[in-house]
């Protein structure tokens, strides 16, 4: 079975894990599509000083990619691996690169083309595909609050009619997708998997953080955005420190969202803000120092941050929105609180701090079978599509 799998840096932490398993079951060809406007995401980072434009084999650009041994491990055994670099500005370069992609298509001769999500620079290529079996992953069926992107909505309107099958990453996400889009084609019920790649990158000390031996650290990690409930977390934390004055809260990540500090936290040493991009090599240090990860989201589908926590066995607290509770067993591998309960997050933090069990036994237990389950579902889906007219 000849499969061409398209992915991109923003989701490469998931894609790499899936590729690593799927390559054992099919003849897998990989295309990593990189926008040079913002090339560096998750586990992928280009070295400085290289001018890239167009399609390159993986072997020909190894000296231009950071953490190359990591990618060699994940891509070993694939039938072919190419990187597609799109210039920062959209123009006639899209036509040139699209033609080059079709040239590669003739060489690879895939039976199925699988996109792990879609971004604008690939739309022309996807829309021009004719008589192809196309599978598309949908990580977020609808935009998060405050993040509506009409260009993406329009892109989906034109693209979805060409798709032979979709894949979502939670029961909640699948039901929401079916409610909004009413698909008439199969929808595979996949799951996110632990992002073990972060543990293999190495450890770089975070200069803003120096945890003391008996100190407890609460962690919020990720891009700052209105839907992530940072204001609610700060409000709850300002009350928690009245009972546990020695704990600290770390908010690590960048973004344009400005949250409001409660009066109790203005100038407080209990709050550590790391308002910048967290380098991949710093993630291991960050999560291994954290006693609990908190995801106080106001809305969500599922969360890749939970999969990072899973890789490091970091305990978690999540709100009961979207599919977060599908990934977290309340009281077992973390805590889930009711978003409608004004004291829910505060009580949850107090509970995990006062729990008689050592906090490190509450870690999110990685499901080693999750990625294998995904691969089996995908192979079954590919087989079903190839058997259809």
Q: Is residue 130 part of a domain?
A: yes
How confident is the model at residue 23, as a pLDDT?
97
Residues 51 and 75 in one domain: yes
Same domain, 171 and 227: no
Q: Is residue 345 part of a domain?
A: yes
- Give percent above pLDDT 90 in the chain: 58
* Secondary structure letter of residue 335 according to DSSP: E
DSSP for 33-78 reads: EEETTS--BTTB-BPTT----EEEETGGGGGGBTTHHHHHHHHTT-
Query: Averaged over 19-36, what is the pLDDT?
Result: 96
Instruction: Report the C-alpha gap between 366 and 312 in whole angstroms.
Output: 9
Please give the pLDDT value at position 4: 98
pTM for the whole structure: 0.90
pLDDT band at 363 (very low <50, low <70, confident <90, very high): low
- Where would I find the H helices in 109-170? 123-128, 150-159
Please state, in angstroms and rounded to a whole number, the distance separating the CA atoms of residues 234 and 263.
10
The reply to whether 31 and 129 lie within a common domain is: yes
% of residues, the chain, pLDDT over 70: 93
Instruction: Say whether both 123 and 10 belong to one domain.
Output: yes
Structure tokens, 172: 């909640």
Do 106 and 246 reside in the same domain of the chain?
no
In a domain, 214, yes or no: yes
Which range among 258-262, 318-322, 369-373, 374-378 shows the weakest confidence by mean pLDDT? 258-262
359 token code pair? 């906090």
Q: How confident is the model at residue 144 (pLDDT cuts 50, 70, 90)?
A: low
The whole-number average pLDDT for the span 167-171 is 94
Residues spanned by the domain of 108: 2-193+369-387
**H-type alpha helices, 211-289:** 230-240, 280-289
pLDDT score for 329: 73
Domain assignment of residue 198, yes or no: no
Residue 346 lies in a domain: yes
Distance CA 334, CA 67 (A): 31
- The answer for 259, left when phi > 0, alpha when psi is -120 to 50, beta otherwise, is beta
pLDDT at position 150 is 60
Statement: residue 17 has pLDDT above 90: yes
Please indicate, yes or no, whether residues 153 and 49 belong to a single structural domain of this protein. yes
170 domain residue, yes or no: yes
Q: For residue 33, what are its two tokens?
A: 């599509």
Same domain, 344 and 315: yes
- 271-274: strand order across its sheet: 271-274, 248-252, 217-221, 292-295, 316-319, 335-337
Q: For residue range 340-353, what is the model confidence (pLDDT) as tens digits?
A: 999 999 999 998 88
Higher pLDDT, 285 or 151: 285
Number of domains in the chain: 2
Neighbours of 238 (CB within 10 A): 20
Residues 34 and 90 in one domain: yes
* CATH, residue 337: 3.40.50.2000
pLDDT tens across 90-132, in order?
778 889 999 999 999 999 999 999 999 888 788 889 988 988 8
Contact (CB, 8 A) for 330 and 263: no
Domain check: are 161 and 21 in the same one?
yes
Judged against a pLDDT cut of 80, whether residue 371 lies above it is answered with: yes
Separation of alpha carbons 209 and 370, rounded Å: 33
pLDDT band at residue 189 under the 50/70/90 scheme: very high
CA distances to 32, 46, 194, 274 from 51, in Å: 17, 11, 33, 31
Instruction: Indicate whether 333 pLDDT > 80.
Output: no
pLDDT in tens, 254-312: 877 777 888 888 888 899 999 888 888 899 999 999 999 999 999 888 888 999 998 88
Partner residues linked to 46 by β-bridges:
65
Please provide the DSSP assignment of 184-216 as one string: SS-EEE------THHHHH-----TT----TT--
Assigned domain for 210 exists: yes
Same domain, 185 and 249: no
- For residue range 227-252, list pLDDT tens digits in order: 899 999 999 999 999 999 999 999 99
Q: Which helix (H) or strand (E) holds 310?
A: helix 304-312
Q: What is the pLDDT of residue 149?
A: 64
pLDDT at 29: 98
- In a domain, residue 199? The reply is no
DSSP state of 340: T
pLDDT at 367: 52
Same domain, residue pair 177 and 295: no
User: Are 135 and 115 spatial neighbours (Cβ–Cβ below 8 Å)?
Assistant: yes
- The pLDDT assigned to 123 comes to 86
Q: Using pLDDT thresholds of 50, 70 and 90, give the confidence band for residue 58.
A: very high
Average pLDDT along the chain: 89
Region for 49 from its dihedrals, namely left if φ exceeds 0, alpha if ψ lies in -120 to 50, beta otherwise: left
The residue with tokens 């995904």 is: 374
Same domain (yes/no): 175, 213: no
Q: What is the pLDDT of residues 80-92, one digit of tens each?
A: 999 999 988 777 8
Mean pLDDT of 196-209: 86
């Amino acid at each position: 079975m000849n499969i061409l799998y398209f992915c991109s840096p923003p989701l490469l932490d998931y894609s790499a894990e899936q590729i690593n398993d799927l390559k054992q079951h099919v003849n897998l060809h990989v295309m990593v599509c990189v926008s040079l406007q913002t090339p560096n995401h998750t586990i992928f980072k280009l070295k400085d000083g290289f001018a890239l434009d167009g399609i390159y084999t993986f072997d020909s650009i190894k000296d231009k990619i950071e953490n190359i041994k990591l990618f060699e491990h994940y891509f070993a055994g694939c039938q072919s691996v190419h990187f597609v670099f799109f210039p920062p500005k959209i123009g006639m370069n899209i036509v040139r690169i699209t033609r080059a992609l079709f040239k590669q298509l003739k060489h690879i001769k895939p039976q199925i083309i699988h996109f792990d999500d879609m971004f604008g620079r690939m739309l022309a290529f996807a829309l021009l595909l004719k008589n192809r079996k196309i599978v598309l992953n949908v990580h977020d069926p609808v935009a998060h609050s405050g993040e509506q992107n009409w260009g993406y909505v329009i892109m989906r309107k034109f693209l979805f009619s060409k798709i032979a099958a979709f894949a979502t990453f939670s029961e909640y996400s699948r039901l929401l997708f079916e409610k909004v889009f009413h698909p008439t084609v199969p929808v595979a019920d996949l799951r996110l998997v632990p992002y073990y790649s972060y543990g293999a990158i190495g450890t770089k000390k975070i200069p803003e953080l120096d945890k003391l031996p008996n100190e407890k650290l609460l962690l919020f990690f990720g891009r700052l955005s209105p839907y992530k409930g940072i204001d609610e977390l700060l409000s709850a934390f300002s009350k928690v420190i009245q009972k546990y004055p020695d704990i600290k809260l770390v908010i690590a990540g960048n973004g344009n969202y400005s949250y409001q500090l409660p009066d109790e936290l203005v100038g407080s040493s209990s709050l550590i803000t790391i308002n910048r991009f967290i380098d991949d090599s710093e993630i291991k240090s960050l999560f291994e120092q954290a006693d609990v990860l908190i995801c106080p989201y106001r809305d969500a589908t599922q969360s890749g941050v939970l999969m990072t926590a899973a890789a490091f066995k970091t305990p978690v607290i999540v709100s009961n929105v979207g599919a977060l509770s599908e990934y977290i067993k309340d009281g077992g591998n973390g805590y889930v609180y009711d978003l409608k309960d004004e004291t829910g997050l505060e009580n949850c933090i107090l509970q995990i701090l006062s729990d008689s069990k050592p906090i490190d036994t509450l870690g999110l237990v990685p499901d080693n079978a999750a990625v294998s389950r995904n691969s089996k579902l995908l192979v079954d889906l590919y087989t079903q599509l190839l058997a259809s007219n």
